[in-house]
Amino acid sequence: MYLRASGLVINHPSIRGDRMTRHALLALLAVVTTASALRSQQLPAPGPGTSVQIRPGVPDTSPFRPLALPDPNAYRTGAGTPGPLYWQQRADYTIRATLDTATLSVRGEETIRYTNNSPDTLRYVWLQLDQNMDAPSNRFAALGGRFGGASESTYVGGYTLERIAALRAARPGAKPDETPLRYRVNATMMRVDLDRPLPPRGVAQLAIAWHNMVPRSQGRTGRERFPEGWLYEIAQWYPRMAVYDDVRGWNTAQYLGGGEFYLEYGDIDFTITAPANYTVTGTGVLQNGAQVLTARERDRLALALHSDTTIHVIAPSEVGKADLLPAGTGATRSWHFRAQNVRDVAWAAAPNFIWDASGWEGVLIQALYPPVALPLWSQAADMARHTIMHHSRWYRYPYPTAINVNGPVGGMEYPMIVFCSARENEKDLYFVTTHELGHEWFPMIVGSNERLYGWQDEGFNTFIDYFSFHDRYPADSETVNSQEMGRTSNWWVSLLTHYTGREAPIMEPQDRNPPFLSGALHYPKTALGLHLLRTELVDSTAFDQAFREYARRWAFKHPTPADFFRTMNDALGEDLSWFWRSWFYRSDHLDQAVDSVTQRDTSGVTIARIFLSNKAEMVWPLDLEIGLANGATEHVKLPVEAWYRGSPFIYVHRWPARVVRVVIDPRSAYPDINRGNNSWTASQ
């Protein structure tokens, strides 16, 4: 069979007798013929004296242009998933520490087993020394960043490093030899030079000994004085491996007190030796309960694990009693904990803890608090249980325990344990409890870089706080719509009236802005954006599926903002570049307006042309309420693509009566900064 069109000759025996193939080929030839005919047309020649004006190309400045994200690669894909060659380092720790209540200090020794899963050979490693934020030698002290020593003249902050060495055994089972290593402290970071290069898949073992004084209160760790003795909440307390990743290499951002932390996952085995009358709790599972707990306490814990109501492990009437100590206890007790697949550990110790517990699906829920926290904290274990149960709608809580401790730290989170100071108001206690325990998901499970992108844990967590709080207090609309929840657009518009011209993008690190503004960006503005996305811009069920997919993909991994944006786009089937850019990367404003309405009557209907404009940088869907002269009201929702061709946009429709009123966003749900131009009314 021969076919000829515009000089193209096709002769292929496979198409003979194949009717469908012939039809497809004929369609192709029709396209080719049309293209050939167009090429043969001659454009008119320029007239005498005319010239072609050369100008540079116009860049794409549309708000709908694709968001500029890092190029996908084998480590992180364009769909937002970990790539086929994704890797991350592993850091396992064995720590032995002593709480010295006489000197108000912690003395410890740790062994770090660091596995290099990267494709790179490492000749040095970096560690975080967060306690050095209070060190007198810290170069940031002049900036007023010290928190620990202001109220005590005897307090001296920072680590005293006693020993840093490489461990290497001559043969399996032999005691490792120690090789002292050179190191350099750079404020809150420390570089350790390895004694030999660490190749891909290689393992290095480090031994570090240190001691430091515990601050009175540092916002994340501290101590509080009671008649029975000090209550300690100890966090960010040992030298920890910094993250080496495929995005930035070594992450060496300094700890200035605002941005939090970014750490590798691993197993952590730690033992805390404290005075015998102190009860110690910490991240992970207690390994030596038979040695440090009485049989009565062990029985109560076993019962609590399967109870949906709160059980006293140490009742208020038992605090300080001698029979809380197992027989034969000496001057100290050593509490041994083990935590698997965590990025950090924290602990608390006090001589006057009341200890409550309950269970949920195999998770031991615990609350420890001093008697001064009664009666409010008798609800704390139940609040923690409700949080773990409810937050598991996003990703099933994977750890064996969840612990809430009352003490000097206002609200802070670590794997399996949180510190909350509230002692007066029930809803305040629930809010801080559900917020801090919510961090078990973001960033403890989904391990984002808090130090650079606080919104990926604080904002996400504030977003899901709403659902947890609303589930426990469904009638409390005032609190769930308050500033803390980041739920209402009116809150953000009100803030802008005070901060106009001084806003900053959410993407800026927390330490870069004043605390109030930084908090507003990373907590409620992020949460508000996600709520608006979920309720106003996409289907809420689809959003929930996408958000769960993000948690599933990046559980126990290190996602970047690009991984989140790409995952949401991928799972929702929407290119939300216009939203991510305006809400997260920029400080754009929304200002939609009704400019005018023209109408003409024809054949018993009115054809109305509604002129709408977008007067600021941000684009958004249009939610219109249209009032008609016959008393009817029409609701029209136009997608954000209405602004594809720019502003203004003319909405044309046929109505059974003349339009007398148009209102944009009648529910005041959008973050519109100027509602004065949101409506139009026909002249009388």
Do 90-452 and 471-585 share a fold?
Answer: no
For residue 466, is pLDDT > 60? Answer: yes
Q: What is the pLDDT of residues 249-302, one digit of tens each?
A: 999 999 988 888 999 999 999 999 999 999 999 999 999 999 999 999 999 999
Q: Which fold has domain 592-681?
A: Immunoglobulin-like (2.60.40)
Question: What is the average per-residue pLDDT within 439-457?
Answer: 96
Are the C-beta atoms of residues 308 and 386 closer than 8 Å to each other? Answer: no
Beta-carbon contacts of residue 382 (< 8 Å; ≥ 6 apart): 309, 310, 358
Q: Name the pLDDT band for 219 (thresholds 50, 70, 90).
A: confident
pLDDT of 490 reads 83
pLDDT of 294 reads 97
Q: Which helix (H) or strand (E) holds 357?
A: strand 354-360
Mean pLDDT of the chain: 90
For residue 14, is pLDDT > 60? Answer: no
Q: Which fold has domain 471-585?
A: Neutral Protease; domain 2 (1.10.390)
pLDDT of 152 reads 73
Residue type present at position 453:
Y
Q: What is the pLDDT of residues 498-513, one digit of tens each?
A: 776 678 999 998 888 8
Beta-carbon contacts of residue 57 (< 8 Å; ≥ 6 apart): none
Q: Name the pLDDT band for 55 (thresholds 50, 70, 90).
A: confident
For residue 489, is pLDDT > 90? Answer: no
Q: Name the pLDDT band for 15 (thresholds 50, 70, 90).
A: very low
Sequence spans of domains, the chain? 3-37, 90-452, 471-585, 592-681
Q: What is the pLDDT of residues 319-328, one digit of tens each?
A: 999 899 999 8
For residue 341, is pLDDT > 80? Answer: yes
3-state secondary structure 517-528: HHHHHHHHHHHH
Q: Which CATH superfamily is domain 90-452 in?
A: tricorn interacting facor f3 domain (2.60.40.1730)
Question: What is the average per-residue pLDDT within 515-536?
Answer: 92
pLDDT of 143 reads 75
Residue spans of alpha helices (H) in 401-503: 426-438, 458-472, 477-480, 489-499
* CA–CA distance, 445 with 112 (Å, rounded to integer): 21
What is the value of pTM for the model shown?
0.90
Q: Name the pLDDT band for 75 (thresholds 50, 70, 90).
A: very high
